């Protein structure tokens, strides 16, 4: 099972000091956070994608390639790649390039984006969000799997004799997750292709997660990719930890109270009970996280959000220390102990696909 | 069994808005014997409604109220008039419902005010709102200014409106809402 972090890349004032980091500080902090994730033994760093203030997460491929150059084991991913407003031809090219640069340590998560004006800025219509996600992804898949593509659809100019370059590394397209909070069409899409399904599992009640994951699993089996419990599921989560629970609550409260998205709304205590947010000791985070499998089943990837709402870099790095030292080693052990043998531990990433291919070739040669 | 949900947005206690809601409920029940009634008192949900506006999901008792409204066969909605329209709390409750929640639901519109000069609020504010929400407001709305509580005409309007609501329920049972998770569109259809 993989553990990591995902970042939305918000540029938010620290409510305890009133100071907003500069864009460069936040961009460099993102890199420092990703490097630290590898250093403390986490597996994955995923960056969001936004094309509006107050975010620094445009051009995710530059960020991922830069981080990839300074890490050696960290899996790089997105949370999410905007499949609606980004030209799928550019996604095919850009992410294949990064995949080569980082020796295959790359996967992607497709999302639609919920910022209204971003759609018209990129020549699209938010009311077409689902059809855009469906058509663009269908094209992206072909571009990574077929050398020469002739194509015509509703949302971009037709292609005749187009080849996306570079080709995916070793002809293994990057693994893809589909993320959605509550649109059944996206769970259906992930299931149809046998791709992964990721539920962001932050800011919303777990009931959304349970319903989406259940649908995805059921349809994954329906489409013949394996049994429902073998479907590839990823979950988010939001945590803030200190050794002593009361210290975590006291320190996090001003960030919570002023946070983008949910700030100035429900109390920290209410939100903690209504959503997967956990603020407390490492032990509390372990217990809460182990509970996720009770409604999502045994899953393959857990990403935590730890760097938003203006939390200073130093604090975020301390969170990573706690995750790496106290939380993730226990979670790895416990989740694996609970997982049935026929349920995969990991998503089928680049090395696994290569190994599978080599094994299949050997079998063929043995038969021949 | 018919499920009648009564949404009342009065802020004081006792509330003339709740008083009117109760009169309408009694009159509706006379014509829908055995109906199950759920009262949704928005004052008690005010904090949760504000939270929902910020977080995007209903919590606790608000989630129960939203579910009750979504499953209702008929609604009675009553708001006090604030600044020449429905109250902000009343509107906010309907703002947090998912699109389509009230589609096809018969609704009895009612309002209270301190002065009869607000009486057109039903037709100028509430009726367009519920038309937008694709609910089916019955023709008679019931407006009660303070002085109407001394008028026999109020009782007549209550009876007529309740009769129209009961007729609407009986005549055209609400279409069964589709659960997009139980009845998923196959991907081949989405691919087109």
The DSSP code sequence of A5-56 is EEE--B----TTT-PPPPHHHHHHHHHHHHHHHHHTT--EEEE----STTB-
pLDDT tens-place string over residues B3-16 = 999 999 999 988 99
Nearest to A292 by CA among A270, A307, A308, A277: A277
Q: Which residues contact B120 (CB under 8 A, 6 or more apart)?
A: none
pLDDT tens-place string over residues B10-49 = 999 889 999 999 999 999 999 999 999 999 999 999 999 9
B51–chain A nearest CA distance, Å: 5
A112–chain B nearest CA distance, Å: 16
Cα separation, A256 vs B55, whole angstroms: 13
B contact set with A (CB within 8 A): 50-51, 53-57, 59-60, 180-181, 184-187, 190-192
Tokens of A149: 């593509």
Cα separation, B123 vs B44, whole angstroms: 27
The predicted structure's pLDDT at residue B178: 72
Let me know if B107 is exposed, middle or buried by CB neighbors in 10 A (0-12, 13-18, 19+).
Answer: buried
Closest chain A residue to B186, measured at CA: A188
Residue range B60-89: average pLDDT? 97
Residue-number span of the structural domain to which B8 is assigned = 3-191
The predicted structure's pLDDT at residue A258: 96
Restricting to A residues 38-97, those with a Cβ less than 8 Å away from any Cβ of B are none
Which residues in chain B have their CB less than 8 angstroms from residue A126's CB? none
Residue range B52-66: average pLDDT? 96
CB contact under 8 A, A134 and B50: no
Closest chain A residue to B184, measured at CA: A184
Q: Does A314 touch chain B (CB under 8 A)?
A: no
Cα separation, A174 vs A191, whole angstroms: 17
For A218-226, the CB contacts below 8 A with 24+ separation are: A218/A191, A219/A187, A219/A188, A219/A191, A219/A192, A219/B184, A220/A190, A220/A191, A220/A194, A222/A191, A223/A191, A223/A192, A223/A194, A225/A191, A225/A194, A226/A194
Partner residue facing A265 (CB), from B54, B184, B187: B54
Partner residue facing A185 (CB), from B50, B57, B190: B190
User: Would you call B82 helix, strand, or coil by DSSP?
Assistant: strand
Cα separation, A112 vs A186, whole angstroms: 10
The predicted structure's pLDDT at residue B115: 94
Which is higher by pLDDT, B175 or B106?
Answer: B106
The CATH superfamily holding the domain A2-367 is Luciferase-like domain (3.20.20.30)
Partner residue facing B181 (CB), from A204, A215, A274: A215
CATH number of the domain residue B60 falls in? 3.40.50.360
Nearest to A74 by CA among A42, A29, A109: A42
How many domains, chain B?
1
| ipTM computed for the complex | 0.88
Structural domain boundaries of chain A?
2-367
CB contact under 8 A, A262 and B54: yes
Tokens of B93: 């409750």
pLDDT tens-place string over residues B101-111 = 999 999 999 99
CB contact under 8 A, A215 and B184: yes
The predicted structure's pLDDT at residue B1: 87
- Omega before B125 cis (within 30°)? no
Partner residue facing B181 (CB), from A184, A189, A192: A184
Rounded to 5 degrees, what angle do the CA atoms B84, B148, B76 make? 65
Closest chain A residue to B57, measured at CA: A204
What residue spans of chain B are helical by DSSP H? 16-31, 46-55, 60-70, 88-95, 121, 127-132, 152-171, 187-191
User: Tens digit of pLDDT per residue, chain A (368 long)?
Assistant: 999 999 999 999 999 999 999 999 999 999 999 999 999 999 999 999 999 999 999 999 999 999 999 999 999 999 999 999 999 999 999 999 999 999 999 999 999 998 999 999 999 999 999 999 999 999 999 999 999 999 999 999 999 999 999 999 999 999 999 999 999 999 999 999 999 999 999 999 999 999 999 999 999 999 999 999 999 999 999 999 999 999 999 999 999 999 998 999 999 999 999 999 999 999 999 999 999 999 999 999 999 999 999 999 999 999 999 999 999 999 999 999 999 999 999 999 999 999 999 999 998 888 87
CB contact under 8 A, B190 and A266: no
Q: Does A152 touch chain B (CB under 8 A)?
A: no
Q: How confident is the model at residue B179 (pLDDT cuts 50, 70, 90)?
A: confident
Q: Give the residue from B57, B60, B62 with the most A CB atoms within 10 Å of its CB, the best one to mutate.
A: B57
Q: Give the residue from B96, B184, B186 with the most A CB atoms within 10 Å of its CB, the best one to mutate.
A: B184
In the 8-state DSSP scheme, what is residue B165?
A: H
B90–chain A nearest CA distance, Å: 19
Greatest distance between any 2 Cα atoms in chain A: 71
CB contact under 8 A, A138 and B191: yes
Q: Does A192 touch chain B (CB under 8 A)?
A: yes
- Omega before B14 cis (within 30°)? yes
Which residues in chain A have their CB less than 8 angstroms from residue B66's CB? none
Task: Please check the confidence at residue B176 and state whether its pLDDT lies above 70.
Answer: no
Task: Please check the confidence at residue B174 and state whether its pLDDT lies above 80.
Answer: no
* HSE value, Cβ hemisphere, 13 Å, CA-based, for A98: 24
- String of DSSP letters for A107-156: EEEEE----TTHHHHTT--GGGHHHHHHHHHHHHHHHHH-SSEEE--SSS
Residue range B118-135: average pLDDT? 97
Partner residue facing B185 (CB), from A185, A261, A264: A185
Q: Give the residue from A131, A184, A223, A273 with the most B CB atoms within 10 Å of its CB, the best one to mutate.
A: A184
Nearest to A238 by CA among A182, A179, A299, A309: A309
A148–chain B nearest CA distance, Å: 21
CB contact under 8 A, A134 and B190: yes
Which residues in chain A have their CB less than 8 angstroms from residue B191's CB? 134-135, 138
Nearest to A281 by CA among A320, A330, A316, A244: A244
């Amino acid at each position: 099972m993989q553990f990591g972090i995902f970042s939305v890349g918000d540029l938010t004032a620290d409510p305890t000091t009133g100071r907003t980091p500069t864009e460069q500080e936040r961009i460099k902090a993102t890199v420092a956070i990703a490097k630290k994730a590898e250093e403390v033994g986490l597996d994955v760093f995923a960056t969001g994608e936004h094309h509006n203030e107050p975010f620094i997460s445009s051009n995710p491929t530059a960020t991922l390639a830069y981080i990839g150059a300074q890490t050696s084991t960290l899996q790089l991913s997105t949370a999410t790649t905007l499949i609606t407003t980004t030209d799928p031809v550019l996604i095919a090219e850009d992410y294949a390039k990064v995949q080569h640069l980082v020796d295959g340590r790359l996967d992607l998560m497709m999302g639609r984006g919920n910022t209204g004006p971003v759609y018209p800025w990129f020549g699209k219509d938010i009311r077409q969000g689902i059809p855009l996600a469906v058509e663009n992804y269908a094209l992206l898949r072909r571009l990574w799997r077929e050398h020469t593509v002739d194509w015509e659809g509703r949302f971009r100019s037709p292609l005749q004799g187009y080849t996306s370059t570079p080709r995916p590394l070793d002809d293994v397209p990057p693994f893809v997750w589909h993320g959605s909070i509550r649109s059944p069409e996206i769970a259906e899409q992930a299931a149809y292709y046998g791709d992964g399904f990721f539920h962001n599992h932050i800011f919303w009640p777990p009931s959304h997660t349970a319903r989406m994951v259940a649908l995805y699993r059921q349809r994954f089996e329906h489409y013949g990719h394996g049994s429902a419990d073998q479907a590839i599921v990823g979950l988010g989560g939001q945590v803030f930890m200190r050794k002593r629970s009361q210290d975590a609550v006291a320190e996090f409260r001003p960030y919570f109270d002023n946070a983008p998205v949910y700030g100035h709304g429900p109390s920290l205590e209410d939100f903690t009970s209504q959503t997967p947010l956990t603020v407390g000791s490492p032990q509390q985070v372990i217990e809460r996280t182990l509970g996720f499998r009770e409604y999502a089943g045994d899953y393959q990837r857990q990403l935590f959000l730890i760097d938003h709402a203006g939390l200073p870099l130093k604090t975020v790095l301390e969170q990573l220390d706690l995750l790496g030292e106290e939380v993730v080693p226990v979670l790895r052990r416990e989740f694996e102990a609970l997982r049935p043998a026929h349920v995969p531990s990991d998503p089928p990433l680049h090395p696994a696909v290569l190994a599978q291919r080599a094994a299949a070739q050997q079998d063929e040669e043995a038969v021949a | 069994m018919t499920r009648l949900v009564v949404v009342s947005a009065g802020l004081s206690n006792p509330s003339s808005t709740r008083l009117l809601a109760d009169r309408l409920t009694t009159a509706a029940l006379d014509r829908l014997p055995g109906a199950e009634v759920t009262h949704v008192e928005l004052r008690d949900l005010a904090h949760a409604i504000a939270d929902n506006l910020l977080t995007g999901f209903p919590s606790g008792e608000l989630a129960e109220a939203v579910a009750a409204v979504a499953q209702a066969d008929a609604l009675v909605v009553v708001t006090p008039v604030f600044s020449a329209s429905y109250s902000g709390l009343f509107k906010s409750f309907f703002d947090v419902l998912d699109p389509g929640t009230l589609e096809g639901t018969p609704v009895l519109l009612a309002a209270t005010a301190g002065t009869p000069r607000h009486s057109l609020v039903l037709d100028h504010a509430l009726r367009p709102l519920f038309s937008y929400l694709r609910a089916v407001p019955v023709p008679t709305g019931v407006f009660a200014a303070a002085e109407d509580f001394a008028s026999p005409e109020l009782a007549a309007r209550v009876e007529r409106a309740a009769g129209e609501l009961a007729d609407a329920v009986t005549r055209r049972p609400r279409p069964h809402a589709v659960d997009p998770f139980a009845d998923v569109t196959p991907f081949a259809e989405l691919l087109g």
